């Protein structure tokens, strides 16, 4: 099915089909970005890195948590919010790269020195969530645990 010097017919068809497919995907991405206004979420903020960890109650059921990761703990090491609370997590590191993950939630950030990352979550069920460092950061890595306690 091939002539002497050209590309075989079937390969041409596959080539055309794959180019059309790639073109269609690009068109869909452009459509999503331009017409639907969908963009890849970013968690990086321009908040200035802070040194102090703290939980700020901004309104009933609304909190801002400024979390500092360091070798080998989180500051504050434990926070307490009431059930149904929405918490804005701002996360940074005092020294090296750490991870910041809250089990049972979608919060999963890197804790980076010099940068503040952000994610919001809502705690609907009472109980205790572990905050874990999921980036190997040295001999105390496995001890890097914090808690979010959700009161009824």
Residues within window 6-65 making contact with ligand CUA, judged by CB under 6 A: none
Shortest spacing between CB 137 and ligand CUA, in angstroms: 3
Q: Which of 10-18, 60-68, 78-86, 132-140 is the region at the interface with ligand CUA (rule: CB under 6 A)?
A: 132-140
Under the binding rule (CB under 6 A), the answer on residue 144 touching ligand CUA is: yes
Under the binding rule (CB under 6 A), the answer on residue 136 touching ligand CUA is: yes
Q: HEC profile for the chain?
A: CCCCCCCCHHHHHHHHHHHHHHHHHHHHHHHHHHCCCCCCCCCECCCCCCCCCEEEEEECCEEEEEEEEECCEEECCEEEEECCEEEEEEEEECCCCEEEEECCCCCEEEECECCCEEEEEEECCCEEEEEECCCCCCCCHHHCEEEEEEEC
Backbone angles phi, psi at 146, to 5 degrees: -135, 180
Under the binding rule (CB under 6 A), the answer on residue 102 touching ligand CUA is: no
Q: Which of 63, 91, 98, 116 binds ligand CUA (CB under 6 A)?
A: 98
Kindly state the number of chain residues that form the binding site for ligand CUA, as judged by CB under 6 A: 9
Q: Which is nearer to ligand CUA, 79 or 135 (CB)?
A: 135
Q: Which is nearer to ligand CUA, 31 or 136 (CB)?
A: 136
- Would you tell me which residues interact with ligand CUA (CB under 6 A)? 72, 98-99, 133, 135-137, 141, 144
């Amino acid at each position: 099915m091939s002539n002497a010097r050209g590309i075989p017919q079937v390969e041409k068809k596959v080539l055309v089909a794959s180019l059309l497919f790639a073109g269609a995907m690009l068109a869909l991405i452009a459509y999503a970005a331009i017409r639907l206004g969908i963009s890849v979420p970013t968690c990086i903020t321009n908040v200035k890195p802070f040194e102090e960890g703290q939980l700020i109650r901004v309104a009933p059921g609304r909190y801002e948590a400024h979390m500092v990761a360091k070798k080998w703990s989180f500051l504050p090491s434990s926070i307490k919010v009431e059930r149904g609370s929405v918490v804005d997590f701002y996360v940074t590191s005092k020294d090296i790269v750490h991870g910041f993950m809250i089990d049972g939630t979608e919060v999963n950030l890197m804790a980076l020195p010099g940068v503040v990352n952000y994610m919001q979550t809502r705690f609907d069920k009472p109980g205790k969530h572990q905050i874990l460092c999921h980036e190997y950061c040295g001999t105390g890595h496995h001890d890097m645990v914090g808690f979010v306690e959700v009161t009824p």
